Structure 1
Amino acid sequence: MAETGEQGQRANVRVIADDDEAIAVARELAARLAEGAAERDRERRLPREEIEWFSQSGLWGITVPKAYGGAGVSFVTLTEVVKLISAADSSIGQLPQNHFGLVDVITLTGTEEQKRYFFAEVLAGKRFGNGFSEKGTKNVLDLKTRVRRDGDDYVVDGTKFYSTGALFAHFVPVLGLDDERRGWLAYIPQGTAGLTITDDWSGFGQRTTASGTVTLENVRVSASHVLPAYRVSDQPTLNGPVSQIIQAAIDAGIAKAAIDDTLAFVRERARPWVDSGVERASEDPLTVREIGRLYIQLHAAEALLERSAKVLDEIAAQDAVSEDDVARASVAVGEAKVLTTEAALLAGEKLFELAGTQSTLAAHNLDRHWRNARTHTLHDPVRWKYHLVGNYYLNGAKPARHAWN
């Protein structure tokens, strides 16, 4: 008899064995996700079925360490997987971004019991959402959410926004401060009393990420589900660069998608300019020049992305991570993030210039690429990446350690 419900879902989850399999699965899934991407964005239809395909593919479990049954893939592979999925549908590509960072938090700060429990859950298809950021505060680190110990449990109170993936998650990890203003992450099971998730995300880009509000009213969480998040910043770890490199990979995927659609439209639909003297838009010398520029920008961004992933892999392979290692990783990822941001924005804009007026018609929904790029790249200001890189090389200044560096 076939299994049904939760047990059936777990039975169908693939456990990916290695890097090559992860890439192969990502390519296959990306082709499937790309088919309805424009329609989902146009209709703001949440990808409830598609996210099940995604987690059942096993890709949400690829960073689980090998010692706990996962593939423990390299950062080069992780960024390639995220890039492939994001090129197909960047909203879906963004959904596991926090999940991977939260798996890393468990690796870095979890007890042996917590690692065994949560890694088994991830490999069985469970997804982490997030309850990190808050709106209306002084800055991203000015948190109002509180986590306090109460006997054998913790109690969480607060309101979160930009909670990408929370609506689809089995656990909603919420970041809050204790009385000493240290950060704790409470991995709250979906359905816990006092936890409310509202799909009120109205951003013009990344429309189907459901990055809305999480409200917590006297939410009681077992101590076994609470981790000392402050340690990933107080101590030298790669958690910040890991979070950032995934962001950069999403933007690289957006750039690739926009360029692919530009090529298709120019070849199949666009008309040459009247003064060009050519028969097809694809022969217009000025269009050809701009296509060359786009590819140079994309390949440069991808090269720095791969380089930064190799830096992370090299450091992660060491017995210990130093402050200098973290600084080097943050700068390498920052350099990549500058170019992936600029490539995504440029590709989204150039699409219309090269494809022509017809490309602006709503039926094509090609504006989603620029909208997605503009929205996602606002996660943290790229202008500060220039400062981070310059200050490191000129003055030897190490970047601050947090999830945005």
Structure 2
Amino acid sequence: MTETTAANPLSLGTDYETLANRFRPIFREISAGTVEREKTRALPHEQIAWLKQAGFGAVRVPTQYGGAGASIGQLFELLIELAEADSNIVQALRAHFAFVEDRLNAPPSDDRDQWFARFVKGDLVGNGWTEVGSVKLGDVITKVTGTGDRLLLNGTKYYSTGSIFADWIDVYAQRADTGTDVIAVVDARHPGVRHSDDWDGFGQRTTGSGTSVYDNVPLPAEHVIPFEERFKYQTAFYQLVLLAVLAGIGRAVERDIAREVRDRKRVFSHGNAGSVSEDAQIQQVVGQIAAQVYAAQAATLRSAEPLQRAYVARFGNDAQVEKAANIDAEIETAKAQVIVSQLILSAATDLFNALGASGVSVNKALDRHWRNARTAASHNPLVYKARIVGDWHINGTEPPYVWQIGSGQGKA
């Protein structure tokens, strides 16, 4: 469903089951190869190509432009389903959907229409935000130089999640002439762009996160966007993608533990039944995991609601309504992060309580659920999110909408 305000249709939602059924066969195909990709660290180039061809990257684009018109909540429900199949792919698409959201929040223009057309065609956007090395907090070494239509990007980024699969890259940079922070959108296939799959984390190993180098990459003037124009609920949106990753991992845990228990033949002499599937204590473990996953998914989707309100309010005439929605988006996603991380990490550990030693088989790769969940949950420190929520409830302190990481004044 879309709502038209002058020349600005908004994506307010569609029939979810119809939308999801477009992609569920692809999700099943993706799921079938996840364990093998995990064991061999094979990047999901083919699987992401399937999603591109099916129009997955354009589900938030208004129907008038050829997209699906999905709401933010429907997008994240889809991402949870995809994360159950392969959580790495959802994280690899994190920057893409954030850039789509940014363009949805941009004023109507020919440039915005061109981006919508690119998304519908299947173009994906990667990420280049984090500076590499001992960069001081707040410093931006990646620079845009030149003037007019002769602009060049130079720099190096790490945690370049999804860029290795992308057609474009959303790069956080600084103009050398004015010192202002900007978003530079570069052609990912330009010869001056080099990607390395050198991410060395123990989880989420096939997200394409690694180092990207930009060497005199040309930029059209319209692809250099002042950072101050970035959509206001961006931090909440990025966090919500990680929550969808966690909720999807939880669904995979629930699926795998039920299957393992159902198929298990061997029993312990001091167990409670002649088959593991009939053992009341094992049933309790599986039931507890299912309840935790249910709560995690519910919290994730509930925290998506204020983001949709903020998106709609962006084009309203009430600044206070928009500000309140943006605050709610930050606070609710922070609350969800604290509890969802705990629920899914617990579920990914407790699944082994229902299995014997065979459950730790490398061939089954059940440990990937905890490793992937722990990695996703480590991106934004839980303790800071809990503090921000507490400060809001106690003192009414407005949450930060943007934050950075870098070397502090003490240890490098």
Q: TM-score, with normalisation over the residues of structure 2?
A: 0.87
> Within 2, Cα distance between the matches of 1:176 and 1:58?
29
- The partner residue of 2:239 within 241, 244, 261 is 244
User: Partners of 1:58 and 1:219 in 2: how far apart?
Assistant: 28
Relative to 1, partners in 2 of residues 1:361 and 1:189: Cα closer, same or farther, differing over 3 Å? same
Assess if the C-alpha contact under 8 Å between 1:188 and 1:225 holds in 2. yes
Moved more, 64-73 or 151-160: 64-73
Which residue is 2:286 aligned to?
291
Q: Which range moves more in the overlay, 385-394 or 96-105?
A: 385-394
Local SS of the residue matching 2:46: helix
Q: Helix, strand or coil: the match of 2:243?
A: helix
**Which of 126, 130, 143 is the aligned partner of 1:129?**
126
**What are the superposed Cα offsets for residues 100-137 of structure 1, whole Å, 9 maximum, x if unpaired?**
00112223346612211111111001111111112334
CA distance in 2, matches of 1:153, 1:254: 45
Identity of aligned pairs, percent? 32
Q: Which residue of 2 aligns with 1:183?
A: 181
Q: Which runs of 5+ in 1 are unaligned?
A: 1-15
Quote the residue 1:335 is aligned against: 335
Distance in structure 1 (CA, Å) of the matches to 2:146 and 2:396? 40
CA distance 1:373–1:270, shift in 2 (3 Å):
farther
Q: What pairs with 1:200-211 in structure 2 (closer than 5 Å)?
A: 200-211=198-209
Between the aligned partners of 1:149 and 1:184, the Cα distance in structure 2 is 14
Find out whether 1:310 has 2:308 as its counterpart: no
Aligned residue for 2:127, secondary structure, equals coil
Q: Do the aligned residues in 2 keep the contact of 1:272 with 1:284 (CA within 8 Å)? A: no
Asked if structure 2 preserves the Cα contact closer than 8 Å seen for 1:270 and 1:356, the reply is: no
Within the alignment, does 1:275 sit opposite 2:270 as a pair?
A: yes
Q: For 1:6-45, what aligned pairs fall within 5 Å after superposition?
A: 19-45=16-42
Counterpart code for 1:208? T
Count of aligned pairs between the two proteins: 386
Q: Distance in 1 between matches of 2:175 and 2:205?
A: 33
**Displacement after TM superposition at 1:17 (Å):** 7.6
Aligned to 1:351: 351
Q: Please identify, of 155-164 and 381-390, the stretch whose mean Cα deviation from structure 2 is larger.
A: 381-390
The alignment status of 1:96 with 2:93, answered yes or no, reads: yes
Q: Quick check: 293-302 or 123-132, which moved more? A: 293-302
SS at match of 1:266: helix
Bigger shift: residues 392-401 or 19-28: 19-28
CA shift for structure 1 position 26: 3.0
Q: Aligned partner of 2:160: which letter? A: S
Aligned counterparts of 1:359 and 1:260: Cα–Cα separation in 2: 14
How far the C-alpha of 1:201 sits from its partner, in A, is 2.0
Shift of 1:330: 0.8
2:368 is aligned with 1:365 = no
Counterpart check, 1:375 vs 2:372:
no
8 Å CA contact 2:62, 2:68 repeated in 1? yes
The one-letter code of the counterpart of 1:101 is A
The equivalent of 2:190 in structure 1 is 192
SS of equivalent to 2:131: coil
The aligned amino acid for 2:250 is: A
Q: Structure 2: how far apart are the matches of 1:66 and 1:140?
A: 42
Change (3 A) 1:169 1:157: same
- 1:225 is aligned to 223
Distance 1:125 1:134 in 2: 28
**Alpha carbons of 1:358 and 1:42: their partners in 2 closer, same or farther (altered >3 Å)?**
same
CA deviation string 1:222-242 (max 9, x = no partner): 112222223227xxx222222
Mapped contact 1:18–1:72 kept (Cα < 8 A)? no
User: Is the Cα–Cα contact under 8 Å of residues 155 and 213 in structure 2 kept in the other structure?
Assistant: yes
Distance across 1 between alignment mates of 2:91 and 2:336 = 17
Match of 1:212 in 2: 210
1:106 touches 1:227 (CA, 8 Å); kept in 2? Answer: no
What is the CA-CA distance between 1:140 and the residue it aligns to? Answer: 7.2
- 1:250-270 per-position Cα deviation (integer Å, ceiling 9, x unaligned): 110011101211111122126
On the 8 A contact 2:272/2:281 being kept in 1, the answer is no
Counterparts of 1:314 and 1:157, CA distance in 2: 37
Q: Hey, what does 1:71 align to over in structure 2?
A: 68
Q: Which amino acid aligns with 2:48?
A: I
Gap regions ≥5 residues in structure 2? 1-12, 405-412
Question: Following TM superposition, by how much is the alpha carbon of 1:18 offset from its aligned partner in structure 2, in angstroms?
Answer: 6.0
The worse-fitting range, judged by mean Cα deviation, of 301-310 and 311-320 is 311-320
RMSD of Structure 2 on Structure 1 (CA):
2.2
Deviations along 1:350-401, one digit per CA (max 9) or x if unpaired, are 1222222101111111111111111122111122221122111111111101
Going from structure 1 to structure 2, the CA distance change for 1:257 and 1:17 (only over 3 Å counts) comes to same
8 Å Cα contact 1:134-1:140 kept in structure 2: no
CA contact (8 A) 2:14 2:71 kept: no
> Are the aligned partners of 1:114 and 1:225 in contact in 2 as well (CA < 8 Å)?
no
Aligned 8 A contact 1:273 1:284 in 2: no
Q: Deviations over 1:327-357 (max 9, x none)?
A: 1111111122223222221222112222221
Q: TM-score, normalised by structure 1?
A: 0.89
How far 1:56 sits from its partner (Å)? Answer: 0.9
Structure 1 403/92 Cα, relative in aligned 2: closer, same or farther at 3 Å? farther
What amino acid maps onto 2:194 in structure 1?
T
Distance in 2 separating the partners of 1:34 and 1:139: 41
Residues 105, 229 of structure 1: 8 Å contact kept = no
* Range with bigger deviation, 267-276 or 344-353: 267-276
Corresponding residue SS for 2:36: helix
2:155 is matched with which residue?
158
Segment of structure 1 superposing worse, 373-382 or 309-318: 309-318
Moved more, 258-267 or 319-328: 319-328
Partner secondary structure for residue 209 of structure 1: coil
| 3-state SS, counterpart of residue 211 of structure 1 | coil
Contact 2:148-2:221 within 8 A present in 1 as well:
no
Letter in 2 for 1:84: E
